[in-house]
Structure 1
C-alpha cells in the first residue's frame, strides 16, 4: 500500500444493493419514463429546448441536424450522439408520432424500417406544434435546474399547451418497469379535458364519450373495445390493431386483398416477407402473389388471390398468422412528482390540467410583476413630465447622475428605480405627444393589473383561460381520427377462418356426436336408393339430428343444472356412417353429472336474437324456469350454472322458445298440464324457478316437458309396462301453471306409471329400450290418435318383470328411400334423413 492510501472495508452486498438502486432510480427518473405533465423524457425535452435555444423555429431556415445534436450534447445531454439523433429522427417521423415535433428535411427513414441518413446529411427545425410546448417558457412558468456541469440552466418540464402525453404517447424500458402509452386524437383529447374542467366528478366512462380510443399515426382498425376500456379504466390493457384491408377485383375473375394501412409500429417490409414465407410453407393458402405498390401517394400492399379461394377466409388467416393484426400492450406508467405511477385516463387529464393551472398562475404572477414594475416606472416618468422644468433644472445643477438621482428622490419622493428612469429619460419623451402616450400606457397597465389580479383571485377564470387555450390548440392543430374503431368484436375469432356452411349434427342416445357436411345427405337422383345414416355402437341409436351452420352454437344442459357451450365447428367432423366422439370427452363435465338436453342456437352474440329467445327448463320435482337466452351468451370453458337445483331434484329438460309457446309437463302419476309460457316470468340465470305442476305425492315426479308452437303435432305418452298412445294437443285444456293437471293416461297396475311424454308427428320414429336391453323401433304413423284419458295400446310385450327404461323420438331412418323430391333448381329436398331442424 502506497503512502497516503487507505483501504476501507465495505460489505459488498450492501454496496451492490445501494449502487443498483441508485442506478435504477437514475434510469427511471432521468432516462426511461416520461413526465406526466409534458409527456417528455429528458432527452426529448433537451432536444426541443436546444432547438429553441438555437432559434430553429418553424418559420426559420433549417439547420444541419449535426449542429443541433452537437449543441444538445455540449450543453444539456452528456450521452452518446446516437441517443440524441435517434430521438430527433423519431420525433420527425409521421408514422412514429401522431403529431411530429420536428420538421425534418432529408432521409429520416421509412415505415419499412430503412435507416435514416447520417446527421451530417439531414436538416431539421421545430414543427409549429412543438413551439406550443415551449410557449411561455421565458415567463417563469416552470422550474429550471443546472445542467450536468452547472454552467447553464435547463427546464425540468415544459409549460406545454398541448396534452402531449395523451396525444403522442410514450414508450420506454426502465429498471423493473416499462411504459407503453398509446397516442390519441388531439381534438378528442381537448374535448375530454374540457369536459373534465366543466365537471370534475366525471368518471372514466364519461370521458370515454369524448376520447373514444387510441388514435394511431398509421391509422388501421382498433378491433374490439374491451382492451381499450380496460386500459382507460386501469392504465393497463391490450388494444388489438388490424390493418385496413379491402377486397378488390383487380381483373376479370381475379380478386385481391388491398392493404392501405397497417398496425402501429409494424415494419411493412418485414410483414410482407414473413407473409410470403407462410404462403410458401403452405400455412396460408389461397394467395398467388404479393406486391408492395406503395408510393408517395400512400400505402398499397396487394395480396393477389387464387381463383378458387374465399377472400374473407384468406384475409382472416392473414389477420391470425401475420402482423396485419397485432396488439398494443398499454402500460400507462409516468413520473408524477418524480415517482413512477400507473395512470388511468382521468389521472392523466387531472395531472395535465393541474400543470396547466400552475403554468397559468405562474405566468400571471410574472406578468403582474412586470406590469407593476412598468407601472411604477411610468408613475415616476409622469411625475417628471408634470414637473419637467424643475426636473431639468435639478439635473443640470447636479455634478453626477448619482447626485441627480438622490436629489430627485428627495424632492419628489421617488424610488431608486423611478429616479434612474427619469435620469435616463430621452429628450424626445419631453414632447407633448410622448407625455400623452405615457399616460395612455399607464391607464392600460392599470386595467391589465386589475385583470391579472382578478385572474389570480378567481379559479374559474383561470380554468376558462385553460379552456380557451385548448380550444385554440384544437382549432389550429386538431384533425380527424385516423384509426377506425370496430366495437363489435372483442378478440380474434376462430370462426372467421371457417366457412359458414350447413352441416348435419347427429347425437346418439349414448352421447356420441359428430358433424357431417349437408352435401353428404344430398344423395342420388329421382328414385335412387338411400344410404345408411350412421353406424352406432351396440344398443345405441341416433336420438338427435338437426341441420345447423358451422357458426351456430350448441348449448348442452346437465342434470345438475349446468350449461356448456360448443361451437358447431368444434364438433368433430365425421362421415355419414361414422360413430362420432363421446360428448363427455369434449366438455368439462363432472364425473357424477349427465347430459340431459341440447339446444341449437343461431348466434349468442346477436343482440336482437338473444333478447327475443328464451330457455325454458323443467326439473323432476315440477319446477319450471324461464330465462332470456342473453343470460347464456357469455361462454366459459367450465360451464355456468343454468338453474339453481334444489336438494333431491335434478334438471329433466330444456327447450328454446320464442316467449309465446305453450308448455306441457307430464307426471309419473299420469297427469299432464298445459299452460301459456307467458305465465312464467323470466328470471336470472342462477334462480331456481317456480312451480310448474303440483306433484301427486312424494314419489311422484315430472317425466317429460314439451314446448308447443302449434297444435298440429301430437302428444305421445308411454307407460313403464309398455303401453302408449297418441293424442291431440287440443285435448289438453289450457290452465294456469302450478295446477295438478288433467289425466293424460289411465294409470293402472296393468299399464304401470308414466315414463315419457314427447311431441311427435307422422314422420317420426319411436325407439323404446327396456331395462333388460331389448330395443324396438316403430313408426309413429302406425299409432292411431286416440282420446286423452284412455289407457292406450300395447307398444311392446314385456316378459319376466321387464320394464321400459327409456323412450326416444328419433328421425326416420329408411334403408331404401322412396322417390327423392327435387326443388326448383333440381336439388334433392332433404325430407327423410333430415326431418327436424329443431333442438329435439
Structure 2
C-alpha cells in the first residue's frame, strides 16, 4: 500500500504525532481525577464550601436574594447559577441548594427555604418550580465584605463574568456545617459542630498559638449534629481531632417508660432515614429477631421525632432496649477530615483546621483594611481640598469665575493653590451651597473621623496583634449573634450491655502504689481492730515500691482521681482489678495515664458532688483554688487539667464545698489554718489559685520522700471543710502512726494567708503530719503504711484531745515503715474484735 499523501491534505496533518494509548489514558484520568477533587467533591478548608455551593450563594448575592429580601423561585436561582457560574445539570445544582436548606442536614442552614425541601424519612424535595428560597442570615456572614477585594476572583466558565475562588467566611463554616463527598481515590466526611464551641476554640488558638489538640478539645467538645442524639464515648472524638480520622458511635435518644410498658425514641442518629429504620425494626419483630414488642408506631410531627415501641406483658424492657440499640438505633459515623489546602487535598487534625481558617481570616482582614484605607485616604484627600477651599473661598470663587472654562479653572486651582488633579476636579464641581459655615463644621468633623479611621487601619496593618484582635472581635460578635445550645450529648461508653448491673454493690478498699500498681479488695476482708494495732498485710510490694494512696469506695462509684501533677481522671471502681490481700496489684497504665513521678493524691466520689458545689483544691506549696463542679462534667480518658502548678509544686488534696463553708488546711509541721472558703474566689480549671497559708520554709520541689522527712521546712498535707456549728472532730495522723481527734470548734476562723494555729506537736516521736480528716465517733478509719500493712479501726478508738498535743498511738509500725494514707469510711461496724 502506498503511504504517499494526496496533495490536498491540509497542512495540519503535519502536526499529528503518535502517542501511546496507555500514556494518554493515564494523563486523561489524572486530569479527570484532579477536576473531580478540586472542582466538585471536596470543600475548601477556608470557607468549607464546594464549588457548587459557593456559586449558588454568590449567584443569590449578585441577584440581591438576601435574608431580608423576598423568597425567589428555586428554579430561578438554579437557572442563574447554571447560566452564569456552574455549567452542569440543573438537578445537581438543585440538590445542593435543597441540602443547604435542610435543618436536619446542616447544623446552621445556609438557605432559608419555603416549601418542601425533603424530610428525615428520605422524601425528596418538591420540584424546583414549586419551592422558593433566599439566603439565610448565616450565609450572609460568609459573603460579608466580598466587595472590598478581600478574596481573589477568577473568570467563569465562558470568561464573561468573574466569580470568587473562595468566600471571605466570617465564620468557620467547614466545622460548623461539616461536609461529605466522594472524589477519585479519596473521600471526606466532616461532621457538623456547635458554633459557640468552635468560635471559642478559634479564639483560644489565636491567644495561644502553641496550644495542643487536647487544649482545644476543652472548648470543642465534639461534633454537634442537627438531629441531636448521643455520641457514645470520647475516644473516637479524640482520634478524629488528633489525627483527622476517627469513628464515632452515635446512639438514638430513647426513654424506657416502665409504667406505660413502652420505649419512646425522640432523637435519631445523624443522616438516619427514619421511615426505613421503622420499617426494618418492624421486619425484625415479625421475623422474631427482636422479641417482646407488641406494637410499633411512628408518631413524629413537625415538633420532632417520636417513635413509640409498645412492650408485651412480661417483656424485659432493658433487654428490648439493648436489642434495639444493637441492631437499629446505634450506628457508626466515620470521620475523615479531608479538605483542599492551596488546591491540594489534605487530611487535617482539629488544630490544623482552625489554623487554616485563622490564616484565611488574617488575609481577608488585611485586604479589607487595605481597601478601606485606600478609600479613607482618597476621601481625606478630597476633604483636605474642600477645607482649603473654604479657607480661601473668595479667591477660589474669583479664580473660577475668571476662568474661560472648566479646564482653565482646574489648571488655575492647581497652580495657585497646589491642588492635585482629583482635588481640582472636585472643587470645580462643588455647589455654592456647600460653602456655608455649617457645611464647614460638618467637613471638619468628617475629616477628624476619617483621619481617626486611617490611623486605626494603619495600626491594624502594622501590628499583627491588632489584626488578630479584629478577627477575635468579629468572631465573638458572630458567636453572640448565632450561637445556641449544644444538641448532641456525649455519653459514657458502657456498651449495649450494662456491665455494672452484673456486679454486686459492695464496699471496697482501693490501694495505689508509687510504682503505678493498683487493686481493689473487699472492705469486709479487714476486721476492725483497737487503736495501736499493727494491722495485717494489705498488699504485696515490688522492691523499692511504696504505697501512696488508700481509699474506700463502692463498686458502683464513679471517682474523680486527682494527681500530684494537677491532672484529674475519671474512674469506675468496678473497673479496677479485684485481688487478694497479698497480691501486688496490676499496672494502672491502662486505667490512669500517670507519668513516672505522678501519683494519685485525692479521690472525690461524684455521688457526693452537686452541680452548684465546688471542688476546692490545695497544693503542697500552700495555694488554694475553688472551681465549679460543672467544669469536671466531661473528662477525657487521658485526663484533663484540674489546676496549674508552679515548678516543683504539686496538688495534695481536694474537698467538696458548697460555697458557704470554712476550709481548714493542715501542714506537715502540725500547723492548721481555718478561713471562709469565699476568701478564695471561684476560678477556671487552668488557674493556679491564691495563697492559703504562710509556710515556714518549704518542702516544695523536694521529690524524694526520704529527703522530705529530713527537711526542716513545711508543706501542706491536706484540707477539710467545716461549718460554723459543725459537731465533727478533726482527725490528725502523723508519719509514725500517732494521731488525735480535736473538736472543729477549737479552730477559730482567721484570714486567708496567715500562719495558722498549732494543731499537733510534730516531734521526734510523732514525725510530720501525713493526713487530715473530719470524722464522727461512729466512722471507720482505714490506715495503710508504705510497707503494705493495712489497719481498720473505729474513729472512737482515737482519743479526743485539744490542740497542741501529741496524740496517741493509732497504728504500730516497724522501724523502717511509715503511714502512707488514711481514709474515712461511714460503713457501720457493729463489733470490734480484740487484738
TM-score range, shorter-chain basis? 0.5 to 0.7
Distance 1:361 1:241 in 2: 41
The 5-angstrom pairing of residues 403-442 of structure 1 reads: 403-442=408-447
Distance 1:608 1:318 in 2: 26
Match of residue 154 from structure 1? 163
Match of residue 86 from structure 2? 77
Q: Secondary structure at the match of 1:309?
A: coil
Distance change in 2, residues 1:499/1:467 (3 Å): closer
Contact 1:615/1:627, CA 8 A, preserved across alignment: yes
Contact 2:113/2:134, CA 8 A, preserved across alignment: yes
Q: Secondary structure at the match of 2:105?
A: coil
The 5-angstrom pairing of residues 243-254 of structure 1 reads: 243-249=252-258, 254=260
Distance 1:174 1:630 in 2: 44
Distance change in 2, residues 1:320/1:616 (3 Å): same
Q: Does 1:181 align with 2:190?
A: yes
Contact 1:409/1:416, CA 8 A, preserved across alignment: yes
Distance 1:463 1:632 in 2: 41
Distance 2:357 2:366 in 1: 14
Distance change in 2, residues 1:12/1:681 (3 Å): farther
Distance 2:576 2:305 in 1: 45
Query: CA shift at 1:394, angstroms?
Result: 2.2
Distance 2:189 2:280 in 1: 25
Distance 2:477 2:816 in 1: 68
5+ residue gaps, structure 1, are 502-547, 551-600, 618-623, 635-675, 683-691, 693-706, 711-733, 739-840
Contact 2:337/2:348, CA 8 A, preserved across alignment: yes
* Corresponding residue to 2:205 among 176, 196, 201: 196
When normalised by structure 2's length, the TM-score is 0.61
Match of residue 347 from structure 1? 352
Q: Secondary structure at the match of 1:615?
A: coil
Query: CA shift at 1:631, angstroms?
Result: 6.2
Match of residue 403 from structure 2? 398
Distance change in 2, residues 1:211/1:424 (3 Å): same
Contact 2:45/2:339, CA 8 A, preserved across alignment: yes
Query: CA shift at 1:402, angstroms?
Result: 2.2
Distance 2:263 2:62 in 1: 49
Distance change in 2, residues 1:356/1:681 (3 Å): farther
Distance change in 2, residues 1:407/1:708 (3 Å): closer
Q: Does 1:304 align with 2:304?
A: no
Query: CA shift at 1:445, angstroms?
Result: 1.0
Q: Secondary structure at the match of 1:24?
A: helix
- For residues 385-423 of structure 1, what are the alpha-carbon distances to aligned partners after superposition, in whole Å with 9 as ceiling and x for unaligned? 222222222223333322222221112111111111111
The 5-angstrom pairing of residues 361-510 of structure 1 reads: 361-489=366-494, 492-493=495-496, 495-496=497-498
Contact 1:228/1:239, CA 8 A, preserved across alignment: yes
Distance 1:362 1:333 in 2: 27
Q: Does 1:292 align with 2:298?
A: yes
Structure with max Cα Rg: 1
Q: Secondary structure at the match of 2:169?
A: coil
Distance 2:66 2:783 in 1: 76
* Corresponding residue to 2:17 among 8, 11, 22: 8
Contact 2:73/2:133, CA 8 A, preserved across alignment: yes
Q: Does 1:126 align with 2:140?
A: no
Distance 1:310 1:611 in 2: 26
Contact 1:94/1:217, CA 8 A, preserved across alignment: yes
Q: Secondary structure at the match of 1:59?
A: coil
Distance change in 2, residues 1:499/1:302 (3 Å): farther
Q: Secondary structure at the match of 2:48?
A: coil
Contact 1:172/1:179, CA 8 A, preserved across alignment: yes
* Corresponding residue to 1:56 among 59, 65, 79: 65
Q: Does 1:316 align with 2:322?
A: yes
* Corresponding residue to 1:332 among 337, 356, 374: 337
Query: CA shift at 1:438, angstroms?
Result: 1.6
Q: Secondary structure at the match of 2:255?
A: strand
Q: What is the count of residue pairs matched by the alignment?
A: 544
* Corresponding residue to 1:96 among 105, 114, 121: 105
Match of residue 585 from structure 2? 627
- For residues 439-484 of structure 1, what are the alpha-carbon distances to aligned partners after superposition, in whole Å with 9 as ceiling and x for unaligned? 2211211111111111111222212211111111111100000001
* Corresponding residue to 2:240 among 219, 222, 231: 231
Contact 1:357/1:462, CA 8 A, preserved across alignment: yes
Match of residue 756 from structure 2? none
Contact 2:557/2:572, CA 8 A, preserved across alignment: no
Distance 1:122 1:608 in 2: 54
Contact 1:394/1:408, CA 8 A, preserved across alignment: yes
Q: Secondary structure at the match of 2:585?
A: strand
Match of residue 514 from structure 2? none
Distance 1:91 1:25 in 2: 25
The two structures, once aligned, show a CA RMSD in angstroms of 3.1
Q: Does 1:38 align with 2:47?
A: yes
Distance 1:77 1:183 in 2: 26
Distance 1:438 1:477 in 2: 38
Q: Secondary structure at the match of 2:168?
A: coil
Distance change in 2, residues 1:408/1:391 (3 Å): same
Query: CA shift at 1:205, angstroms?
Result: 0.7
Distance 1:312 1:415 in 2: 85
Match of residue 774 from structure 1? none
Runs of 4+, deviation exceeding 4 Å: 498-501, 601-606, 610-614, 628-634, 676-682, 707-710, 734-738
Q: Secondary structure at the match of 2:76?
A: helix
* Corresponding residue to 1:109 among 106, 113, 118: 118
Q: Secondary structure at the match of 1:340?
A: strand
- For residues 538-579 of structure 1, what are the alpha-carbon distances to aligned partners after superposition, in whole Å with 9 as ceiling and x for unaligned? xxxxxxxxxx889xxxxxxxxxxxxxxxxxxxxxxxxxxxxx
Match of residue 29 from structure 1? 38
Distance 1:151 1:632 in 2: 63
Distance change in 2, residues 1:211/1:374 (3 Å): same
Match of residue 145 from structure 2? 136
Distance 2:785 2:440 in 1: 95
Distance change in 2, residues 1:407/1:680 (3 Å): closer
Q: Secondary structure at the match of 1:626?
A: coil
* Corresponding residue to 2:214 among 205, 208, 218: 205
Distance change in 2, residues 1:605/1:431 (3 Å): closer
Match of residue 583 from structure 1? none
Q: Secondary structure at the match of 1:240?
A: strand
Distance change in 2, residues 1:611/1:390 (3 Å): same
Query: CA shift at 1:611, angstroms?
Result: 8.0
Match of residue 218 from structure 1? 227
Distance change in 2, residues 1:231/1:631 (3 Å): closer
- For residues 60-107 of structure 1, what are the alpha-carbon distances to aligned partners after superposition, in whole Å with 9 as ceiling and x for unaligned? 111111111111111111111111111110000000000001000011
- For residues 609-642 of structure 1, what are the alpha-carbon distances to aligned partners after superposition, in whole Å with 9 as ceiling and x for unaligned? 358765359xxxxxx75014856879xxxxxxxx
Match of residue 609 from structure 1? 573
Query: CA shift at 1:488, angstroms?
Result: 4.1
